[in-house]
Amino acid sequence: MLYNRFYLGSEVTERIAVITTFIFIVLVIIIIILFMVFIKRKNNLLTEKQQAQREFENAIAETQIEIREQTLRNISWELHDNIGQLLTLAKIQLHQLAGCNEDISGVSETISNSLTELRALSKLINPDALKNIMLPEALNLEVARFNRLNFIEATLTIEGDEKIIDDKAEIILFRILQEFFSNTIKHAKASKLDVMLTYTDATLTIVANDNGKGFDKSLEKSNKGIGLLNMKSRGKLIGAEIELESELEKGTQLTIIYYL
DSSP letter for each residue of 155-199: EEEEES------HHHHHHHHHHHHHHHHHHHHTS--SEEEEEEEE
What does the alpha-carbon distance between residue 177 and residue 142 come to, in Å, rounded to a whole number? 10
**pLDDT cut 90: percent of the chain above it:** 22
**In a 10 Å sphere around its CB, with 0-12 CB exposed, 13-18 middle and 19+ buried, how is residue 164 labelled?**
exposed
Which residues contact residue 54 at a Cβ distance below 8 angstroms, ignoring those fewer than 6 apart? none
Average of per-residue pLDDT across 48-77: 68
At 128 the pLDDT is: 55
Average of per-residue pLDDT across 175-201: 91
pLDDT at 35 over 60: yes
The strand pairing partners of 193, in sequence order, are 154, 210
Give the CATH fold of the 135-260 domain: Heat Shock Protein 90 (3.30.565)
At 3 the pLDDT is: 47
Average of per-residue pLDDT across 234-253: 89
At 132 the pLDDT is: 65
Pick the more confident residue, 167 or 173: 173
At 76 the pLDDT is: 59
At 44 the pLDDT is: 80
**In a 10 Å sphere around its CB, with 0-12 CB exposed, 13-18 middle and 19+ buried, how is residue 3 labelled?**
exposed
At 9 the pLDDT is: 55
pLDDT at 169 over 80: yes
At 205 the pLDDT is: 96
pLDDT at 96 over 80: no
- Quick one: pLDDT band at residue 203, thresholds 50, 70, 90? very high
Average of per-residue pLDDT across 228-251: 87
Q: Are 252 and 188 in contact (CB under 8 A)?
A: yes
- Quick one: pLDDT band at residue 225, thresholds 50, 70, 90? very low
pTM (2 d.p.): 0.61
Pick the more confident residue, 153 or 114: 153
Average of per-residue pLDDT across 201-225: 79
- Quick one: pLDDT band at residue 2, thresholds 50, 70, 90? very low
* Closest by CA position to 107, among listed 80, 82, 121, 87: 87
pLDDT at 18 over 70: yes
What does the alpha-carbon distance between residue 143 and residue 120 come to, in Å, rounded to a whole number? 12
At 198 the pLDDT is: 96
What does the alpha-carbon distance between residue 211 and residue 220 come to, in Å, rounded to a whole number? 18
pLDDT at 140 over 60: yes
Pick the more confident residue, 259 or 12: 259
At 209 the pLDDT is: 95
Domain ranges in the chain are: 1-127, 135-260
